[in-house]
Amino acid sequence: MWPLFRPTGIFRPRLFCLLGMLLGAGIRAAVPAPDLVGHWRFDRIADGVVPDLSSAGNPLRVDHPAVRAEVGSARSLECDGFETGGRLEERTPLVFPQGVTLAVWVYPMRSRGYEPVVGRPNPNPSWTTPLTGIYLQDARPVFGVFGGKKVVLEGPALPLRTWSLVVATADGRTAALWINGRKAAETAQTLAIPPAGEVAWYVGRSQLQHFRGRIGEVAVWNRGLAGREVAEWFAATAGRYGEAGAASIAARRPDPDQTVPVESPGSRPDGTWRSRATRTLAGVAGFTAGEPPPTDRWGGRMDRPAGRATGYFRAEKIEGRWWLMTPDGHRYWNVGVNSVRPPRNLAANGSAAFAAAATRELRAHGFNGLGNGGTPAMQAAPEALPWTIRLSVIASFAREHKQTYPTSGHTGFTEQCFPVFHPDFPGWAQREVAALAATARDPSVIGIFTDNELQCPVDLLDRHLRLPAGDAYLGHGRAAAEAWLAARGRAPAAITLKDRYQFIAHVFETYVRIVHDAIRAVDRQHLILGPRFNVHRGQFDNPWFWPAVGRWIDVVAVNYYGEWGPQREDIQGWSEAKGRPVMLTEWYSKAMDAPKLANTKGAGWVVRTQADRARYYQHFTLAAYEIPALVGFHYFKYMDDDSDSVALDSAGGANKGLYRADGSPWPELLDAARAVNRQVYPLIDFFDARRAAGGR
């Protein structure tokens, strides 16, 4: 064992160079000491235990360990986001009277939500700020200290699927966050680091949440390292992780497209405003807009060979890209808009005239379909756009039993458990969809939404298990959950996050199967689009969810919020997991320069100006065209909310629309939409060709 000493002056760089060589050789080496109080490397794991290479001697015990080879002898802990994670056996309590430094190599896989990385979590598992630790929030590293008051220091988002060294230092005066050896953020810090207590020290997890990605070595000092020491630690360890990350970046071609900054605080104006890179049509390198190809009456392109004409819309994968096919057999990408209906001053006597004019205007702006929330007048307009049907199959069943409550955007169910296991639900579904017989032979119907944004809390299993057992309505849900858990040989006290996610998949598979069978008894032709999924945790990130529902849905509708534009790897992954295409059926932004609108309701992005809305529209649209799994989107929505609205999801009004609430247009947004909508097919061809050539 190397002697423990604190190097100073000219000796420190040489020591760190030696450290790097020794780490690469897999030999235990000296580090800044005696201040080092924890050092764990996963090439040393044996029987789920990682020894502590510091003198503190606190082993890390890993549940469900999975180790991945990195550079040379280096290994990382591969965290599945459900079960894998480590808990420290604190034989020597970790205390930090003089300060603290946490250093961890991370390889994140998720761009959204809370991801615990290392440290002592908050005693309240629903609070994200740890007693001491590092976590990711929407891929941004955050250093937190909590002790009555709190210190929260946030850095810029880390690149996904790339190694980054995150270091947090606190010396009693200043807290700093470092990424790959460089300072990313700092703040004043006088709050004492909480002592060891009833909450364990974790790696890759907290009490309830788990990290998804890979974690390299972890080191902890009981003082705040200086900036030079942080940089030297990065240099000493980068060969085990950082060089692999740098190589993966270098192997990618640089993005040729140009972006402009657009600021947004998220979906509420009172959030933290951040600049976000935003691509516009003018920034697409090498693309020149031209005359769009001729289309059939539905909007399908006629410059490609026609496929099988069935008289109805269908989905087909051609040369690696999914398409909707029109009733006449032409490739079609659905550029739609939601809730096209007249303003209040016209609703009483001008719906037919409005529908005719709105249809002409939407076509002129490159829209070729109607999403959720249309009207019979729009469906009957001259040269009507293809449209969709919205049902409320299980929401109506729960409402009939008086087991719903008002909530923003969708139906609330008792305990957030929709009653899919009730024995009367299949019969209800058959009766509820019987009206589809009237449209079963209508070729202008794209497909059928079966409900809207069914609630999906992560603890759906726990909620089912606490439903009253003897209740005539709710008891069936509890019995089904108990039977499902018993079949797995799992006691309720031993439920894991994996159990919870797999139960979510089971619930939704049961729902889509029952509804699918009911619809197909009446309508065997039209696409089943599903209940408009919208939940990131439990649906979007659930590897069991998409294969479960994919068998019963033809095109999966997703109301897509919380991401600054479509994320290709995520959406492609959903499609490949279920073997079906995806349609993004809600998205929008809202600008603060719209007069008299609060913009406090709704999940769309808040931006500053109408020009920013125009930029975001093009940014979202371009990203959508690039993704081979996508077959369309529906912008939400046609008109702004009324400023005097008191509804749960629109109180105070919001600037969601292509048009104002009085029906007058937002010209900047519509001009930007027209420019990119009309180029849908040329842009898809351009992006496909660029991808085939090895570009973005």
Mean pLDDT across the stretch 320-348?
Answer: 94
Tokens for 578, please give them.
């279920």
Which pLDDT score, from 0 to 100, does residue 113 have?
A: 86
Q: Which of 2-16, 204-218, 301-315, 349-363 has the lowest mean pLDDT?
A: 2-16
Mean pLDDT across the stretch 129-152?
Answer: 93
Q: Which residue has the higher pLDDT, 346 or 661?
A: 661
Contact 204, 189 (CB under 8 A): no
Helix (H, G, I), strand (E, B) or coil at 633: strand
Please determine, for residue 10, whether its predicted confidence score (pLDDT) is greater than 60. Answer: no
Specify if 131 maps to a domain.
yes
Question: Edge-to-edge strands of the sheet including 445-449?
Answer: 387-390, 445-449, 527-530
Which pLDDT score, from 0 to 100, does residue 20 have?
A: 42
Q: Which of 157-166, 347-356, 577-586 has the lowest mean pLDDT?
A: 347-356
Q: Which residue has the higher pLDDT, 20 or 398?
A: 398
Tokens for 127, please give them.
């609070």
Name which of 309, 145, 136, 315 is nearest 209 in CA terms. Answer: 136
Specify if 26 maps to a domain.
no
Sequence-separated (6 or more) residues with CB below 8 Å from residue 34: 4, 5, 6, 55
Give the count of beta carbons closer than 10 Å to the beta carbon of residue 247.
11
Please determine, for residue 292, whether its predicted confidence score (pLDDT) is greater than 70. Answer: yes
Please determine, for residue 453, whether its predicted confidence score (pLDDT) is greater than 60. Answer: yes
Which pLDDT score, from 0 to 100, does residue 347 have?
A: 61
Identity of residue 461? L
Which pLDDT score, from 0 to 100, does residue 147 have?
A: 86
Supply angle C-alpha 669, 671, 675, rounded to 5.
115
Could you tell me the pLDDT band of residue 2, with boundaries at 50, 70 and 90?
very low
Mean pLDDT across the stretch 682-694?
Answer: 96
Please determine, for residue 106, whether its predicted confidence score (pLDDT) is greater than 70. Answer: yes
Element spanning 446, H or E: strand 445-449
Q: 13-28 pLDDT, tens per residue?
A: 333 344 444 444 443 4
Domain count, the chain: 1
DSSP 93-143: ----SS-EEEEEEEEE--SSSEEEEEEE--SSTT--S-SEEEEEETTEEEE
Specify if 196 maps to a domain.
yes
At residue 102, φ and ψ (nearest 5 deg) are: -115, 130
Helix (H, G, I), strand (E, B) or coil at 484: helix
Could you tell me the pLDDT band of residue 255, with boundaries at 50, 70 and 90?
confident
Specify if 359 maps to a domain.
no
Mean pLDDT across the stretch 442-453?
Answer: 98
Name which of 120, 86, 87, 115 is nearest 102 in CA terms. Answer: 120
Find the CATH number of the domain harbouring 216.
Answer: 2.60.120.200
What is this structure's pTM? 0.88
Could you tell me the pLDDT band of residue 447, with boundaries at 50, 70 and 90?
very high
Helix (H, G, I), strand (E, B) or coil at 275: strand
Helix (H, G, I), strand (E, B) or coil at 271: coil
Helix (H, G, I), strand (E, B) or coil at 587: coil
Q: 35-61 pLDDT, tens per residue?
A: 999 999 999 999 999 999 999 999 999
Specify if 140 maps to a domain.
yes
Mean pLDDT across the stretch 533-560?
Answer: 96
The domain of 148 spans 33-251
Could you tell me the pLDDT band of residue 350, with boundaries at 50, 70 and 90?
confident
Q: 610-661 pLDDT, tens per residue?
A: 999 999 999 999 999 999 999 999 999 999 999 999 998 899 999 999 999 9
Q: Can you tell me which residue has the tokens 């975001």?
A: 616
Could you tell me the pLDDT band of residue 508, with boundaries at 50, 70 and 90?
very high
| Strongest mean pLDDT among 139-153, 343-357, 615-629 | 615-629
Q: 235-249 pLDDT, tens per residue?
A: 999 999 865 444 444
Q: How far apart are CA 392 and CA 5, in angstroms?
A: 69
Which pLDDT score, from 0 to 100, does residue 250 have?
A: 42
Specify if 555 maps to a domain.
no
Please determine, for residue 183, whether its predicted confidence score (pLDDT) is greater than 50. Answer: yes
Say if strands 321-325 and 314-318 run parallel, antiparallel, or are unpaired: antiparallel
Please determine, for residue 550, whether its predicted confidence score (pLDDT) is greater than 50. Answer: yes
Which pLDDT score, from 0 to 100, does residue 116 have?
A: 97
Q: Which of 44-58, 192-206, 223-237, 263-277 has the lowest mean pLDDT?
A: 192-206
Q: How far apart are CA 221 and CA 98, in angstroms?
A: 10
Specify if 296 maps to a domain.
no
Mean pLDDT across the stretch 246-260?
Answer: 64
Specify if 635 maps to a domain.
no
Tally of helices (H runs) and strands (E runs) in the chain: 16, 33
Q: How far apart are CA 187 and CA 637, in angstroms?
A: 41
